Amino acid sequence: MCDNYNYQLNEHKKKEIESKQRKLEEEKKQLEETRRLIEEEKARKLQQKMNLKKEREDILQQKQIEKKAVKEFQLQNKEEHNKLFKQNSVKEIASEERYKKFFKDYDKNLQLRMQGHIESVTTTESVKNKQIEEWIRKNESEYQKKLKEKEEELAKWRNNVIIFYLKN
C-alpha cells in the first residue's frame, strides 16, 4: 500500500509538474505572442512616424514652391506696374509737349490775327469784317478741336491709371 501511495503521490506530482510545465509553456507562448505584437506595433509606429515625416517634408516643399511662385508673381506685377508707369509718363510728357505746341501755334495765330487786324484797319470795312470773322472761326474751331483732343487724352489716361490701380 505504501507503494501504491507513493506511486499515486508520484503520479500526482508528475501531473502537477506537467500542468506547471504546460502553464509555463502557455505563458511562454503568450509572452512570445505579446513580444511579437509589441514588435509589430513598434514597426507600425515607426512606419507611421516615417510616413508623417515624409508628408511633413512634402508639405514644406510644396509651401516653398508656392511661396516662390507668389514671389515671382509679385515681381512680375511690380515689373508690369513699372512698365505701365513709364509708358504713362511718356504719354503724359508727349501730351504736355502737344499742349505747348498748341499754345505756341495759338500765340502765332494770335499774332497773325493782330497783324491781320492792322492790315484790315487799312482795308475797307466789309473786307475787314469778313477776314476777322474767318480768322475767328478758324481759330475758334482749331481751339475747340485741340481742347477736345486734350480732354479725350486726359480721360483715356485717367481711365488707364484707374484700371491699373484696380488691377493691383
Question: Hey, where are the domains in the chain?
Answer: 2-167
Q: Tell me the torsion sign for CA atoms 76, 79, 83, 85.
A: positive
For residue 1, the model assigns a pLDDT of 62
CA 107 – CA 115 distance, rounded (Å): 12
Three-state secondary structure call for residue 56: helix
| Residue owning grid cell 506537467 | 18
For residue 51, the model assigns a pLDDT of 95
The DSSP call for residue 152 is H
- Residue 59 φ then ψ, to 5°: -65, -45
Q: Under a CB-based contact definition with an 8 Å cutoff, are residues 142 and 102 in contact?
A: no
* pLDDT greater than 80 at residue 121: no
Q: Under a CB-based contact definition with an 8 Å cutoff, are residues 135 and 116 in contact?
A: yes
pTM reported for the whole predicted model: 0.39
More confident residue, 155 or 121: 155
For residue 83, the model assigns a pLDDT of 93
* pLDDT greater than 80 at residue 156: yes
Side-chain-facing half-sphere of 83: CA atoms under 13 Å: 6
Give pLDDT tens digits for 50-107: 999 999 999 999 999 999 999 999 999 999 999 998 998 889 888 889 988 998 888 8
Give pLDDT tens digits for 36-50: 999 999 999 999 999
CA 148 – CA 96 distance, rounded (Å): 15
| Residue owning grid cell 506511486 | 7
C-alpha dihedral, 80 to 85 to 89 to 95, nearest 10°:
80
- Other C-beta atoms within 10 Å of 56: how many? 10
More confident residue, 125 or 152: 152
